[in-house]
Chain A
Amino acid sequence: MNDESPQHGWFQGLDPADGEAAASAIAEGSAEQPADWPARALEAGFTGDRSAYYDSLRESTIGAARTAVREREQADDQQLIHSIRALDDCQRLTNELTERVTEWAGSRDEAATVDIEYIRELAEQEATDPIAERLVSLARRIVELDEESQSLRTFVEQSAQSVAPNLTALAGPELTARLIALAGGLEEMAKKPAGTIQVLGAEDALFAHLRGGAPSPKHGVIYTHEFVRGTPPENRGSAARALSGKLAIAARADYYSGEYRPEIEAQLEDRMERIRARDSS
């Protein structure tokens, strides 16, 4: 290779006024080797002088980087937090309204039961009097809320996977979203020690302990993880500690690099096997 090879700089064929095209040339272009691009740009008449070249380069590189970052923002941790909270709200409202409606409906219909199936049936009915009108209308809203919960759950699953691939591999999408929400964000979680992650969601118990008297909590929201819940109580503290240690590592990998590292999951499984093997010995 030599300097005479017919290579093109990012500015090749660009209209200096077209910022968008320049940004995409920066983002998508390539070359075999570098060259004195400022000089080449002057030769090609792209800009009048070096200083103008650098001004244009600055605008284009910042534009390209900003576009790429904005695209990833769609899969932002804050969006994940909003969506898991919305999912929780939808589920809570579904339950509350289901209870309210079945209690009301039970005053007229002995077959009323507190579950979504009964609500679905009710929603299909034709209202024949003013009270039934209210009940059926409420039931329809509950069914819609329930459908929204399903859609939100799908959204949380996809979003968690792209925001935090390592955490999601370890903890599943819902628990990942809850942990990030409790921490206040992926960055915040990446900066927390494992011991704090272990008791996220058990703040009341933790502060009761710190005030004195109460036992220290062994786990917070990570209790919902199979590795903790499925481990016998005498080893649950160890399991919670092992899990939170790997979750802390996964959060850092997700925040600082964003690349999936399968070895974290493998190490956790290895550790869990050893903890659980204690029972049989």
Chain B
Amino acid sequence: MTLPDGVEYRTFDGEESLATRGEPVYGEQTDGEWRKWDRSRSKLAVLLGRDVETGLAPDATVLYLGAASGTTVSHVADVAGPTYAVEFAPRPMRDLLSVAESRQRLFPLLKDARKPSSYAHVVEPVDFLFQDVAIRGQGKVTLANKQFLKSDGRLAVAIKARSEDVTRDPDSVFDDVLSTIKTEYEIVHTSSLEPFHEDHLGVVASPK
């Protein structure tokens, strides 16, 4: 088992699921102080459930790109240290703010992940970079944000094929994005996130 400390399997309604300890935020099931981390709602949870070493660790500093409403980032902040959560759209930011209210080391940033200079004056070098942005040019975003990752840090990305090109075969989209990422990272792991997230590829890498 390679689950980081702070992430455990618990039983909810007779079903085993990953869980973290923290304030519930989106109506998830709870078991005492543990709250369910649902694989079908979180791409990172799918990777963790497969025993992939993602880079999520206790006290790790984290840069999370594409935090959306904060579902996954709430679990990340339960486990890790200072967590910088970048989200571009104001609407999900409203929900993310209420997640941040109940967490002491979660910093919400209403910024565009394609423009790292707009948050480089706030974000420190991190141990774990997680990216889940549903926009075209996901590989470029990964490269542009490499400057935030410490040389011994880890990258995990959820690539969404449809964001690059709805009409192309997902596998060939993944190949393209991967080859972009490979120019500056060493790929450690890739696996499809199906059946939980259709047409998504999970990638774990370390900086070259």
With A61-B107, A256-B89 in contact, is A69–B120 under 8 Å at CB? no
B148 at the interface (CB under 8 A from A): yes
A223 at the interface (CB under 8 A from B): no
B182 at the interface (CB under 8 A from A): no
B105 adjacent to A58 (CB under 8 Å): yes
Which residues of chain A have C-beta atoms less than 8 A from B124's C-beta?
34-38
Query: How many angstroms between the C-alpha atoms of A62 and B92 in the bound complex?
Result: 14
Question: For residue A38, which residue of chain B has the nearest CB?
Answer: B124
A31 adjacent to B105 (CB under 8 Å): no
Expressed in whole angstroms, the minimum distance between the Cβ of A7 and any Cβ of chain B is 7
Q: Which of B89, B93, B96, B120 has the most CB of A within 10 A?
A: B120
Which residues of chain A have C-beta atoms less than 8 A from B125's C-beta?
34-36
Question: For residue A254, which residue of chain B has the nearest CB?
Answer: B91
Which of A10, A31, A54, A69 makes the CB contact (< 8 A) with B90? A69
A21 at the interface (CB under 8 A from B): no
A229 at the interface (CB under 8 A from B): no
Interface residues of A in 19-37 (CB under 8 A from B): 25-27, 29-37
Expressed in whole angstroms, the minimum distance between the Cβ of B53 and any Cβ of chain A is 24
Report B80-92 CB contacts with A as 1/0, cut-off 8 Å: 0010000001111
A61 adjacent to B109 (CB under 8 Å): yes
A to B contact number (C-beta, < 8 Å): 89
Report B98-120 CB contacts with A as 1/0, cut-off 8 Å: 00110011111110000001101
B168 at the interface (CB under 8 A from A): no
Overall SS of chain A's interface: helix
B3 at the interface (CB under 8 A from A): no
Which residues of chain B have C-beta atoms less than 8 A from A33's C-beta?
120, 147
B90 adjacent to A72 (CB under 8 Å): yes
B104 adjacent to A58 (CB under 8 Å): yes
Expressed in whole angstroms, the minimum distance between the Cβ of B120 and any Cβ of chain A is 4
B105 adjacent to A26 (CB under 8 Å): no
Overall SS of chain B's interface: mixed
Expressed in whole angstroms, the minimum distance between the Cβ of A15 and any Cβ of chain B is 17
A62 adjacent to B108 (CB under 8 Å): yes
Sorting the interface of chain B by its residue count into under 10, 10 to 19, 20 to 34 or 35 or more gives 20 to 34
Which residues of chain B have C-beta atoms less than 8 A from A258's C-beta?
89-91
Question: For residue B84, which residue of chain A has the nearest CB?
Answer: A61
Q: Which of B94, B97, B101, B124 has the most CB of A within 10 A?
A: B124
A8 at the interface (CB under 8 A from B): yes
Expressed in whole angstroms, the minimum distance between the Cβ of A32 and any Cβ of chain B is 6
Query: How many angstroms between the C-alpha atoms of A5 and B91 in the bound complex?
Result: 36
Which of B97, B121, B148 makes the CB contact (< 8 A) with A65? B97
A64 at the interface (CB under 8 A from B): yes
Query: How many angstroms between the C-alpha atoms of A9 and B124 in the bound complex?
Result: 10
- CB<8 Å pairs between A and B, sample of 26: A8-B121, A10-B121, A26-B109, A30-B120, A33-B120, A33-B147, A34-B124, A34-B125, A34-B147, A37-B123, A37-B124, A38-B124, A61-B100, A61-B109, A62-B101, A64-B110, A65-B96, A65-B100, A68-B110, A69-B94, A69-B97, A69-B110, A256-B89, A257-B89, A257-B134, A258-B91
Nearest 8 CB-CB pairings of A with B: A31-B121, A31-B120, A61-B107, A72-B90, A29-B121, A65-B108, A30-B117, A34-B120
Q: A31-B117, A62-B108, A68-B93 are in contact. List 18 more A-B contacts (CB 8 A).
A: A8-B121, A29-B122, A32-B120, A34-B148, A35-B124, A55-B104, A57-B122, A58-B105, A61-B108, A61-B109, A62-B97, A65-B93, A65-B110, A68-B90, A69-B90, A72-B91, A256-B89, A258-B91
Instruction: Point out residues on A near B: beta carbons under 8 Å.
Output: 7-10, 25-27, 29-38, 54-55, 57-58, 61-62, 64-66, 68-69, 72, 187, 255-258
